[in-house]
């Protein structure tokens, strides 16, 4: 039985070989090098996500001072986990941008009139779709209209580009949560708390979209069970940005051993 989540499906779409190495084999190359650039990008998103979750759990939305009073604590917790290697100037700039991002997120929730809804924080699911695979995941937030089952599905994003966002992750949540909750999703979208992209991105999704994703998952499940992990070469991402590039035999083969050694030294 294959278990698909939004993250594992995204991995498969990018490169089935990467899926094999990270999900199936769980293999770590001894010379794997962490990319500090991408570690830095994770800090603002994790900080804002966690402080928002705690703020929503408190259910005291008029107390915005709590966000300011506790920002430093959440910032340090995330830094301790990620351990980015950056200069003092980088740290100051990223911290300021994270604070702006938090203000953006609160402002966007205010635009929805969040005080008129009840909140379901991080609803999760583990649902069997057919005999071959299950889906699992946890959405960030549901806003539920009082005395109804109508809900708005929200996922927090610190994306640097709206164009790259797809509906697949939201479809995962809709399919899974519709099976285990009574909610009717009237709207599903991403809360873009990047201060450069302060806006919502909504998707209209129906049963046809859901069935399309299920069909794609079924096709991928067959390939996984048959050991078919086709390599997808991407000139821009494979050489320098793929986190498993040093453990990928196809990367070494396509690039050539001598050229591969040059990349190892970068």
Domain ranges of the chain: 34-111, 115-225
Q: Burial code of 49-62, b = ≥16 C-beta within 10 A, e = fewer?
A: bebbbebbeeeeee
Q: Collapsing DSSP states into helix, strand and coil, what is residue 58?
A: helix
What is the CATH class of 115-225?
Answer: alpha beta
Q: What is the pLDDT of residues 58-117, one digit of tens each?
A: 888 888 899 999 999 999 999 888 888 788 888 898 899 899 989 988 988 888 888 889
Please answer whether residues 200 and 190 qualify as being in contact, where contact means their C-beta atoms are separated by less than 8 angstroms.
yes
Mean pLDDT over the full length of the chain? 84
Residue 176 pLDDT greater than 80, yes or no: yes
Whole-angstrom distance, CA of residue 114 vs CA of residue 135: 29
Q: How far is CA 41 from CA 90, 173, 202, in A?
A: 11, 25, 24
Q: Which pLDDT value is given to residue 266?
A: 47
Q: Which pLDDT value is given to residue 193?
A: 82
Q: Collapsing DSSP states into helix, strand and coil, what is residue 96?
A: helix
Q: Collapsing DSSP states into helix, strand and coil, what is residue 2?
A: strand
Whole-angstrom distance, CA of residue 65 vs CA of residue 12: 42
Whole-angstrom distance, CA of residue 128 vs CA of residue 118: 28
Of residues 156 and 249, more confidence is placed in: 156
pLDDT band at 255 (very low <50, low <70, confident <90, very high): low
The string of DSSP codes covering 123-190 is: -EEEEE-SSSEEEEEE-SEEEE-TTS-EEEEEEEE--S-STT--SHHHHHHHHHHHHHS--EEEEEEE
Calculate mean pLDDT across residues 188-211: 85
Whole-angstrom distance, CA of residue 159 vs CA of residue 165: 8
């Amino acid at each position: 039985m294959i278990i698909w989540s939004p993250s594992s499906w995204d991995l498969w779409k990018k490169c089935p070989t990467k899926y094999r190495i990270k999900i199936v084999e769980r293999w770590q190359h001894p010379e794997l090098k962490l990319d500090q650039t991408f570690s830095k990008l994770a800090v603002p998103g994790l900080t804002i996500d966690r402080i928002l979750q705690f703020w929503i759990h408190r259910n005291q939305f008029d107390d915005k001072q709590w966000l300011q009073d506790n920002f430093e604590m959440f910032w340090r917790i995330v830094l301790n986990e990620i351990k980015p290697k950056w200069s003092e100037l980088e740290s100051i700039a990223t911290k300021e941008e994270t604070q702006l991002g938090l203000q953006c997120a609160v402002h966007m929730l205010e635009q929805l009139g969040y005080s008129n809804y009840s909140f379901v924080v991080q609803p999760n699911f583990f649902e069997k779709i057919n005999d071959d695979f299950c889906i699992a995941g946890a959405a960030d937030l549901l806003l539920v209209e009082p005395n109804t089952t109508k809900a708005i599905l929200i996922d927090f994003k610190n994306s640097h580009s709206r164009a790259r966002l797809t509906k697949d992750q939201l479809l995962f949540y809709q399919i899974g949560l519709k099976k285990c909750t009574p909610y009717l999703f009237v709207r599903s979208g991403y809360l873009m708390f990047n201060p450069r992209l302060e806006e919502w991105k909504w998707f209209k999704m129906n049963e046809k979209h859901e069935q399309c994703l299920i069909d794609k998952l079924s096709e991928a499940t067959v390939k996984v069970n048959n050991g078919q992990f086709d390599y997808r070469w991407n000139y821009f991402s494979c050489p320098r940005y793929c986190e498993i590039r040093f453990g990928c035999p196809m990367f070494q083969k396509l690039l050539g051993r001598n050229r591969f050694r040059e990349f190892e030294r970068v």
